[in-house]
Chains A and B, each alone.
Chain A
Amino acid sequence: MRLTFHLAGINNQNFLMRDDQTGTYWQQISGKAVSGPLSGSQLPFVHSDELTYGTWQSEEPRGTVLQDAAPYRSGYARKDWDVEMQRARTVIDFHEHGLKGRDVMLGIQSFGASRAFPYDQVVREKVVQDHIGAVPVLLVVAADGQSVRAFRDRIPGVLGAPDFYRTAGNPQGALLMDAATGSEWNFQGCAIAGKAKGLCLEPVEVIKDYWFDWRNFNPSTTVYGRK
């Protein structure tokens, strides 16, 4: 049965949606049904990335783009919406790790653990190698300096978690080089030159979220770079 959804409420500034078919209410951030006939069910996640349009279009020139709904265009966010949102108050907060409620984090909930990465720090570092639980992961910043992807730090056929280094970049799109095979990798996590050419790293789902929201729905989260 296909479910179709509508905005239906809010729960500590994370919205709730209701499906038309069963009347069940679902939490947006978790995809979990919280009230109704399907309560306890989980919507399967579809992998997504938050990218700049320029980066996305370079990767998917034949892709399609959601168009503005003309009657509501005047209500759409302005270009500096993220700056404006920084000033909006929060209804809950968690004064932990020296973080403020609207600090932007990159959250990963996988491999039985939750971990948040301060977005500004990841952008500065450009390549972050860390662990989610016991699993090594790699966060990579695109050439645009804004888009971030996460991958499992494991090259098929290579033991352990190889080190990755940022390269100066080239027209073919190489961003990284790994120390194990000496291969060059692009922002899509695929080797485009070297011994590993043709292989791709396994993507890991990462959500860009405010600290207060991530922490509220991931109470056991740890934070990269903080004790």
Chain B
Amino acid sequence: MNMPHSISETQRYRRICIAVLLGCLALSLICVVYPFYVIRPFRAQGARELAAALLVMRFRSAATLIACASASAALVVYWRAQPSRWRRACATAGAAFVCLLAALARVNVYELMFHPDDRPSFAAASRTKLDKDEKVIAVKIGGAARAYPIRNISYHHVINDVLDKVAIVATY
């Protein structure tokens, strides 16, 4: 016959679950907020903080996913150990927020501001109407010449291209 958990054991489980939830929340917040705080336009970036922010960005997708899974598991255990409705609701909100942060960690804010041109198209110069004074970045590889109007590339910033079978990335 299974003996019920003692009250102190139940309280211990609850505390562990809350600790896990709070830990996951803290980790996820750092993963999302810190890089956004450091790497934003019109703010000077120091070398060390930039290196730290990039390190966080490299691993935050995996870290926040693990945090979301851990928070969800802790929530399940917490529900079993906690009869109070409002405490369950708070824990659920916390776990949901951790998972929301996991989704936000995958959002490239910079590409929301400057949409990429993932399928750049090109036309012959003879069929393109641009002012003669308009500025372009000009590249020539082999016999292939290409012009990237600056007013276009200064928005997208990055154009992945292939010119005369050579893969290049044009940037501005």
Contact = CB atoms under 8 A, between A and B. Distances in A.
Residue among B54, B131, B157 having the largest count of chain A Cβ atoms under 10 Å? B54
A69 interface: yes
Interface stretch (A46-54, A122-130, A164-172, A191-199): A46-54
Contact of B44 (A9, A76, A91): A91
A13 interface: yes
B133 A144 contact: yes
Interface in A132-174: 144, 146
A217 interface: no
A6 B116 contact: yes
Interface in B138-172: 138-141, 144-160, 166-171
Interface in A50-91: 50-54, 56-57, 59-69, 71-72, 75-79, 81, 89, 91
Interface in B84-127: 108, 110-111, 114-117, 120-126
A40 interface: no
Given A6-B158, A65-B130, A81-B154, A46 B124 contact: no
B117 to A, nearest CB: 5
B135 interface: yes
A10 B123 contact: no
A50 B150 contact: yes
A220 interface: no
Interface residues of B, number: 65
Residue among A2, A11, A15, A66 having the largest count of chain B Cβ atoms under 10 Å? A66
Given A12-B45, A53-B147, A66 B133 contact: no
Interface string A21-37: 00101001000001110
Nearest to B169: A5
A7 interface: yes
Is the contact region of chain B dominated by helix, strand, or loop, or is it mixed? mixed
B133 A52 contact: yes
A53 B140 CA distance: 14
Nearest to B149: A66
A83 B5 CA distance: 73
A162 B136 CA distance: 31
A176 B158 CA distance: 35
Residue among A2, A13, A48, A54 having the largest count of chain B Cβ atoms under 10 Å? A48
B30 to A, nearest CB: 17
A53 B145 contact: no
B33 interface: no
Contacts of A72: 115, 117, 155-156
Nearest to A51: B138
B147 A25 contact: no
22 contacts: A5-B160, A6-B108, A6-B158, A7-B114, A10-B110, A17-B157, A17-B171, A28-B157, A36-B54, A49-B138, A56-B125, A60-B125, A62-B125, A63-B138, A64-B124, A64-B145, A65-B147, A65-B149, A66-B122, A66-B148, A69-B152, A144-B133
Interface of A: 2-13, 15-17, 23, 25, 28, 34-36, 43, 46-54, 56-57, 59-69, 71-72, 75-79, 81, 89, 91-92, 144, 146
What 5 pairs between A and B have smallest CB-CB spacing?
A: A54-B132, A63-B145, A60-B145, A35-B54, A77-B151
